[in-house]
A = this chain, B = another copy of it.
C-alpha cells in the first residue's frame, strides 16, 4: 500500500532526476561553449546555475520536512539522508560545469582547447555528459544494474585524463603554458563531474539494496 511517506519520497527522487537533467544540459552547453568559443552559451551556463541552486534548496526543504514529520528510521532514514547527499553532489556537478564555462569565456574569441588535444578533451566531455545522463536514469528508475555499469565506466575517464597529460607534457606541445594550464584544469573538472556521477549512482545502489557497493579495484 502506498502511503504519504512513499509519495513524498518519490517526489524527492523526481526532483533529484530533474536536477540531474539540468546538470546534463549544463555539462553539454559548457562543452559547446568551450569547443566553439561561444561566450553567450558560456554566460547561459553561468547564469542558469542559480536554477540548480534553487532546485537543491527545494529538495533539502522536502527532505527536512520528511525527516521532521515522518520521523523515518533504519532504511527509510538512510534513504532520506542519501537524497540530501545526492542533491549536494548534483549541485557540485553544476558548479563544475560553471568552471568549464568560465574557462571558455576567459578565452573568447579564441578556443581554450588547441586542435590536437580536442579529440581527447571532447571525449572527456562526452563521457562526463553521458555519465550524468545515465545518472538521471539511475535515479528515476532506481536502477541498480545501470548504477553498477556507471561505476565501471569511470575507468575510461581516468585513461583520458592520463592521455591528456601525455599530450600536454610531450615534446610536441607548442601551445605554451596558458593552454596547458587550461587543459589540466578542464580535465580535472570533467573528472570530478564523473567522480560525482559515480558517487550519486552508488548512493542509489545503497538506497535500493541497503549496501554500499564494493570500491572499484
A residues bordering B, Cβ < 8 Å?
A: 64, 67-68, 71, 73-74, 77-78, 81, 84-85, 88, 165, 168-169, 173, 176-178, 180-181, 184-185, 188
Contacts and interface: CB of A to CB of B under 8 A. Distances in A.
Contact of A64 (B77, B165, B185, B188): B77
Contacts of A81: 64, 67, 81, 84
Interface centre among A64, A168, A177 (most CB of B within 10 A): A177
Given A68-B74, A180-B180, A185-B185, 20 more contacts: A64-B77, A64-B78, A67-B77, A68-B73, A68-B77, A81-B81, A85-B88, A88-B88, A165-B181, A168-B177, A168-B181, A169-B177, A169-B181, A173-B177, A177-B177, A177-B180, A180-B181, A181-B184, A184-B185, A188-B188
Nearest to A88: B85
A71 B177 CA distance: 55
Contacts of A181: 165, 168-169, 180-181, 184
A178 B166 CA distance: 10
Contacts of A74: 68
A174 to B, nearest CB: 10
Contacts of A78: 64
A61 B100 CA distance: 36
Nearest to A63: B81
Contacts of A169: 177-178, 181
A180 B84 CA distance: 37
Contacts of A176: 177
A50 to B, nearest CB: 12
Contacts of A84: 81, 84-85
